[in-house]
């Protein structure tokens, strides 16, 4: 799929009305650009953070429990203890991300005060607001938000997200939902580029998204910010699949540290993401990695995290 | 200039560099393998995470190839993480972090702090008439600059753009603005080869 020239949108945004990428937004979208082609790994302690950095992660996501454990334990999942986030920040030189609940702007304020490099307003945690997401323009720190379709992605961008990721279905080790989200987002982008100017009004209405953002996509053929894949990636092949579908980098949550042997798997996923079109490299790095996380089928899960967010 | 400018495409903002190069009418290809390196006359090393690129340079088998091409005088332009990879010394880098030592500078990673300290500013650049709008993202700092290195721009006291022979480095991200003048300085270097 045509991935060349996706950065044009960043440049275009510096001139487009109503969404000028200047001030924090320019450096924040810039950091998202720097993370492209890389793997962002979920870690729950400094030891895992070191393993992730040693394996070539571009960033780590600091959290108390990986999604697979959140799913198993149930209850309310909240922002992690600042002490554990600080502990992880102290041992790695790569960017550190952390999660706030959907709509919980005070958790986000705390994460910004901690100097976290990217805030994930995440459906993996229990939502704090059933109607509103965080006004991300009120912050200096960059935000990444999940999306299942283009309308959701554009609503998050209009609220100030510097990076979009698929939601997938976190903690399942099953990539099917992430594939659905990526196909939906890129499919609609392709269709919008074929629409005439009158049809764009209807697209904006159908997507529940601001018209200027839809018009901009019609012109550029690209989302305004980078788009990464998250949710259910467990193998090097999963990562390369997401990249070939159009994702520009991958988040791997439970897939690494819930597998038999995290370090070799982490290294293999880093190589697969960099060389995502080279089947010979993929064949080489997929060998002898031990058992991946067991994973679960979509019919066996009680609650879809992807349904969280509005 | 004639010739092909490769962009190291293991990780980071390589597509942004390609857009600027194409805007200048330069032919550009992505470099992920030693075979692709053979196709290029010059190389751009983009911003991204230097630790990640350092790993992938080794696993892809590109490290030796690039090292030997640099010794033969292949022109190279490193921005941010790319500058770290080209520096002689990397302070507070990881012990296993590889660098090419192609330019006689020492750099300090993330010298300006975390993402919340990232910034934009206008800088004066030697050879350009108007100021250049420079974007600094978790930027490294040049902490030592050898005698053979020409300083092309500063931000306050800090050297942010420098050149030694056909090796050019920037602490900021000229690929994130629509201004192609810094890339033009680099492609200008190729004429001298």
- Residue A14, pLDDT score: 37
Complex ipTM value? 0.95
Q: Which among B105, B129, B112 has a CA at the least distance from the CA of B179?
A: B129
Measured in angstroms, the CA of B148 and the nearest CA of chain A are apart by 30
Evaluate whether A210 touches A159 at the Cβ level (below 8 Å). Answer: no
- Residue A166, pLDDT score: 96
Q: Which two tokens stand for residue A129?
A: 């607001």
List CB contacts of B85: < 8 A, sequence separation 6 or more: B45, B50, B53, B54, B57, B78, B98, B99, B100
DSSP state of B13: S
Q: Is A2 on the interface with B (CB under 8 A)?
A: no
Tens digit of pLDDT for each residue in A233-265?
999 999 999 999 999 999 998 999 999 999 999
Handedness of CA A182, A179, A98, A96 (dihedral sign): negative
Tens digit of pLDDT for each residue in A290-299?
988 888 887 8
Chain B neighbors of A55, CB-CB under 8 A:
55
Beta bridge partners of B122: B133
pTM of the model: 0.93
Measured in angstroms, the CA of B177 and the nearest CA of chain A are apart by 6
Distance CA B172, CA A173 (A): 38
Neighbour count for residue A17 (Cβ, 10 Å): 7
Q: Which among B81, B66, B106, B90 has a CA at the least distance from the CA of B13?
A: B81
Evaluate whether B163 touches B138 at the Cβ level (below 8 Å). Answer: no
Residues in chain B: 193
Q: Helix A176-194 and helix A236-244: axis angle, to 10°?
A: 10
Tens digit of pLDDT for each residue in B27-81?
999 999 999 999 999 999 999 999 999 999 999 999 999 999 999 999 999 999 9
- Residue B119, pLDDT score: 95
Neighbour count for residue A20 (Cβ, 10 Å): 12
Res. A117: pLDDT tops 60: yes
Chain A neighbors of B136, CB-CB under 8 A:
27
Catalytic residue ranges of A: 99
Q: Map residue A75 onto helix, strand or coil.
A: coil
Evaluate whether A60 touches A97 at the Cβ level (below 8 Å). Answer: yes
Beta bridge partners of A96: A60
- Residue A23, pLDDT score: 62
A39-47 average pLDDT score: 96
Q: Which two tokens stand for residue B138?
A: 């978790």
Q: Map residue A2 onto helix, strand or coil.
A: coil
Res. B112: pLDDT tops 80: yes
- Residue A251, pLDDT score: 97
B2 pLDDT band, cuts 50/70/90, is low
| 8 Å CB contact of B9 and A30 | no
| 8 Å CB contact of B11 and A36 | yes
Evaluate whether A72 touches A89 at the Cβ level (below 8 Å). Answer: no
List CB contacts of A282: < 8 A, sequence separation 6 or more: A236, A237, A240, A272, A275, A276
List CB contacts of A215: < 8 A, sequence separation 6 or more: A197, A200
Render A205-234 in DSSP notation, one character per residue. Answer: HHHT--HHHHHHHHHHSS-SS-EEB-SS--
Evaluate whether A233 touches A178 at the Cβ level (below 8 Å). Answer: yes
Evaluate whether B68 touches B97 at the Cβ level (below 8 Å). Answer: no
Q: Is A236 on the interface with B (CB under 8 A)?
A: no
- Residue A21, pLDDT score: 59
Measured in angstroms, the CA of A37 and the nearest CA of chain B are apart by 5
Res. A222: pLDDT tops 80: yes
Chain A neighbors of B139, CB-CB under 8 A:
none
Pick the residue of A9, A34, A49 with the most B CBs within 10 A to test the interface with B by mutation.
A34
How far lies A168's CA from each of A176, A228, A291, B37, in Å? 7, 11, 21, 36
Pick A118 or A74 by higher pLDDT: A118
Res. A277: pLDDT tops 50: yes
- Residue A245, pLDDT score: 98
- Residue A301, pLDDT score: 82
Cα three-residue angle B3-B9-B12, rounded to 5 degrees: 130
Average pLDDT over chain A, rounded to an integer: 91
Evaluate whether B125 touches B182 at the Cβ level (below 8 Å). Answer: yes
Q: Helix A150-158 and helix A211-220: axis angle, to 10°?
A: 110
A 54-113 residues with CB < 8 A to B: 55-59, 93-95, 112
How far lies B165's CA from each of A12, B102, B185, in Å? 34, 10, 13
Give the residue from chain B lying closest to A113, CA to CA.
Answer: B116
Q: Is A117 on the interface with B (CB under 8 A)?
A: yes
Give the residue from chain A lying closest to B49, CA to CA.
Answer: A58
Distance CA A230, CA A228 (A): 7
Cα three-residue angle A37-B52-B23, rounded to 5 degrees: 45
Q: Is A246 on the interface with B (CB under 8 A)?
A: no
Tens digit of pLDDT for each residue in A11-34?
344 333 333 455 688 999 999 999
Calculated CA dihedral for residues B24, B29, B30, B33, nearest 10 degrees: -150
Cα three-residue angle A138-A153-A57, rounded to 5 degrees: 80
Q: Is A6 on the interface with B (CB under 8 A)?
A: yes
Evaluate whether A26 touches B119 at the Cβ level (below 8 Å). Answer: no
Chain B neighbors of A112, CB-CB under 8 A:
116
B135-151 average pLDDT score: 96
Q: Which two tokens stand for residue B74?
A: 């292949």
List CB contacts of B2: < 8 A, sequence separation 6 or more: none
- Residue A6, pLDDT score: 36
Measured in angstroms, the CA of B176 and the nearest CA of chain A are apart by 7
| 8 Å CB contact of A11 and B51 | no
A 148-207 residues with CB < 8 A to B: none
């Amino acid at each position: 799929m045509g991935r060349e020239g996706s950065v044009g949108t960043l440049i275009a945004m510096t001139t487009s009305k109503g969404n000028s990428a200047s001030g924090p937004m320019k450096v924040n979208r810039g950091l998202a650009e720097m993370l492209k082609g890389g793997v962002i790994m979920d870690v729950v302690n400094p030891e895992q953070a070191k393993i992730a950095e040693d394996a070539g992660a571009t960033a780590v996501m600091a959290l108390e429990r990986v999604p697979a454990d959140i799913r198993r334990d149930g209850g309310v999942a909240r922002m992690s203890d600042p002490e554990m986030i600080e502990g992880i920040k102290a041992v790695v030189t790569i960017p550190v991300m952390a999660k706030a609940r959907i709509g919980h702007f005070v958790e986000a304020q705390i994460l910004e005060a901690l100097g976290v490099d990217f805030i994930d307003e995440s459906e993996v945690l229990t939502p704090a607001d059933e109607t509103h997401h965080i006004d991300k323009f009120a912050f200096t720190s960059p935000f990444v938000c999940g999306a299942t379709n283009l309308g959701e992605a554009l609503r998050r961008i209009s609220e100030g997200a510097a990076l979009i990721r698929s939601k997938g279905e976190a903690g399942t080790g099953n990539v099917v939902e992430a594939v659905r989200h990526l196909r939906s987002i890129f499919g609609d982008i392709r269709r919008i580029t074929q629409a005439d100017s009158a049809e764009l009004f209807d697209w904006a209405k159908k997507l529940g998204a601001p018209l200027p953002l839809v018009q901009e996509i019609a012109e550029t053929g690209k989302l305004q910010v980078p788009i990464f894949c998250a949710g259910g990636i467990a193998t090097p092949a999963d990562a390369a699949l997401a990249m070939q579908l159009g994702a520009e980098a991958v988040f791997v949550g439970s897939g690494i540290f819930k597998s038999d042997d995290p370090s070799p798997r982490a290294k293999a996923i880093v190589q697969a993401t960099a060389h995502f079109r080279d089947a010979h490299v993929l064949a080489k790095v997929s060998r002898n990695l031990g058992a991946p996380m067991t994973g679960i089928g979509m019919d066996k899960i009680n609650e879809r995290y992807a349904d969280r967010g509005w | 200039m004639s010739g092909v400018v490769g962009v190291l495409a293991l990780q980071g903002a390589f597509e942004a560099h390609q857009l600027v190069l194409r805007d200048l009418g330069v032919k550009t290809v992505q470099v992920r393998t030693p075979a692709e390196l053979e196709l290029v006359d010059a190389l751009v090393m983009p911003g991204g995470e230097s630790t990640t690129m350092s790993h992938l340079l080794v696993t892809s088998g590109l490290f030796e190839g690039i090292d030997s091409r640099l010794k033969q005088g292949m022109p190279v332009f490193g921005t941010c993480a790319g500058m770290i990879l080209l520096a002689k010394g990397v302070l507070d880098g990881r012990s296993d972090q590889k660098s090419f030592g192609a330019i006689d500078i020492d750099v300090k990673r993330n010298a300006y702090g975390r993402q919340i300290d990232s910034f934009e500013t206008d800088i004066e650049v030697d050879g350009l008439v108007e100021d250049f709008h420079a974007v600094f993202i978790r930027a490294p700092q040049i902490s030592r600059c050898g005698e053979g290195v020409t300083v092309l721009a500063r931000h306050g006291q800090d050297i942010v753009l420098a050149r030694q022979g056909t090796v050019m480095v920037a602490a900021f991200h000229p690929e994130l603005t629509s201004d192609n003048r810094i890339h033009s300085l680099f492609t200008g270097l190729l004429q001298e080869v």
